[in-house]
Amino acid sequence: MTYLLNEPWLLGLLFAVTLAGAIELGRRTAAYTHIHDDTNRKDQMVAIRDGLFVLVSLLLGFTLALAVPRYSERRTLLVEESISIGTTYLRAGMLPPPYRDKDRELLRQYVDARLDLVSAGLDEARFNEAANRSRHIQAQLWADIAAVAQIDRTAITATYENSLNETIDLHDKRIAALENRIPASIWFLILSVSMIAIFCRGLTLTHRFWLTLVLAPVTIAIVVALVADLDSPSTGLIRQDQRAMQRLKTELSSEP
């Protein structure tokens, strides 16, 4: 299940095929049990079908409302972190040598590590390596400011310390945002209710028509895949925009 949620459009394709099978199974079940021979039975199934499709719509809308803010939060945190790193880099220029040049070089390496964090995708080893590299650079930067503070406790040092502290905090916030996914139990509920609704749709069909087998399953599958894509931070068609961090890398690389 986790693998399919990280491959949203493969999930959508498989789900569309599964729903098409469910609607055909419902049609055959209706023919076998002679539901259409009894008007009361058919009316009951139509009422159940309509209610279930309303429930599916509400569940998909609710899940989309969960996914969009998560996507926006990840993008906002990336922009905020880019600004924070850029500010820290500028303030590092006020440190006494040799800390000034050393910390600026560490911040350039830090930007590379942050870019690698998202580009790692499903490669857990690369993700952990980028996260550990970021923490190691943070430790070096903090050790340097602690050493500077011992000999030069001024307002300039304090502003750099505050900026560095904000950059470190944003690292943890971004990691938490990347891990903040829609719970698997909600996905299981959506998939289950959708299959039951489609099955009930099949129970109300008297004849097989290929368009009927395609339209509803494909529509639901596309919406499910879209929501899963928004919820997936590093895979799918909707990728996290890293232009802010890439611009920062270009700007820092152009520094003498």
Domain boundaries, the chain: 2-253
Distance CA 228, CA 217 (A): 16
Identify the pLDDT of residue 165. 93
CA–CA gap between residue 57 and residue 190 (Å, rounded): 10
Helices (H), 98-236: 99-119, 124-151, 155-179, 184-203, 210-231
Q: Which pTM was predicted? A: 0.83
How many other β-carbons are positioned within 10 Å of the β-carbon of residue 39?
A: 9
Give the pLDDT confidence score for residue 88 in this predicted structure: 93
Helices 184-203, 8-33: axis angle to 10 degrees equals 30
DSSP structural state of residue 65: H
The confidence score (pLDDT) of residue 205 equals 81
- Counting as low any pLDDT under 50, the low residues of the chain are none
Per-residue pLDDT tens digits for 140-149: 999 988 888 8
pLDDT tens per residue, range 174-217: 888 888 899 989 999 999 999 999 999 888 887 777 777 788 89
Greatest distance between any 2 Cα atoms in the chain: 92
In the prediction, which pLDDT does 153 show? 73
